[in-house]
Amino acid sequence: MRRSGVDERGGSSVPALAVLALLGVVAAVAIFGDREPPVDLSTLSSSSTQTTISSAPLDPQPYAVTDGVVVHPRAESALYTAPDADAFAKIAPKQFGPTWLPVVQQTDGWVRVLLPSKPNRSTAWMRDEDLDRASSPYLIRVHTGSRTLELFEQGKRLGVWKAGVGARKTPTPPGRTFLLGSIIDNKRSASPIVLPLGAHSPTLDTFGGGPGTVAIHGWPRPDVFGAAISAGCVRVPKTALAHLQKVPLGTLVLIDSK
């Protein structure tokens, strides 16, 4: 009787021991399988104002402000859907000038940035180690309802100007985007100073041979300021433009319908 009890106990323990042993193997595989091969950037498409990367995760808080941190990839760098997830695209260190992107979220070793590619509100996670950091004390707010542009520095309003915004059929896209570049385009003789943003026209796939990049720029006639008449761009007076030209790249631009 006693002996059979021992046998019985031994027999029933086998599956449990087997599970424990299996756990050990799985744990070992998990530990040693941890290494990730380096990302092959050559197979990834590059995020820029010219490209569409539909797999990019969208901005979860498109009307929130940030603490002003902007980052610059020192070299061509991978873009990830989440920290430690797969790379889905890459970004070059230059767009019009140096690439500076606003940080909208961060976690240990990773930052989430807004992207210059289509669709609007595209974001990506990047490795902290690939990036230079700086901070912009500025914030640009564009209100398509009141057709005004406000510029803030350290939370203090530097100015508010009437602005021409997108017409009803070609609206200026709402949400948060950023100052992507500062260019002087001499083909636009009337208003050569152009500040391209990270956003695109939601209704025009292309415009004038370009990808429909939305920008802030001047306009030769003052009657447009305060009107909803543009193809998506934000037209501002000269004084506003002079201020905006000093704003660092990557600075957040918040577009709402107020």
Helix, strand, coil abundance in the chain, percent, nearest 5: 20, 40, 45
Q: Is 82:94 a contact under the CB 8 Å cutoff?
A: no
With respect to another protein, which residue has the nearer C-beta, 13 or 55? 13
Q: What tokens does 175 get?
A: 């949400």
Instruction: Compute the least distance from the CB of residue 99 to another protein, in Å.
Output: 11
The smaller minimum CB distance to another protein, of residues 1 and 43, is found at: 1
- In the complex, what is the shortest distance from the CB of residue 136 to another protein, in angstroms, rounded to a whole number? 5
Residue 53: CB minimum distance to another protein, A: 19
217 is known as an active-site residue:
yes
Least distance from another protein to the Cβ atom of residue 33, Å? 11
8 A C-beta contact, residue 130 and residue 101: no
Identity of the residue, 12 or 54, whose beta carbon is nearer to another protein in the bound complex: 12
Backbone angles phi, psi at 207, to 5 degrees: -150, 120
Calculated CA dihedral for residues 177, 222, 248, 59, nearest 10 degrees: 0
Q: Which of 143, 200, 217, 243 is catalytic?
A: 217
Residues in contact with 219: Cβ distance below 8 Å, sequence separation at least 6, in sequence order:
164, 190, 191, 225, 235, 236
Residue closer to another protein by CB (options 90, 112) is: 112
Residue among 72, 200, 233, 243 flagged as catalytic: 233
Is 243 one of the catalytic residues?
no
- Residues that are catalytic: 217, 233
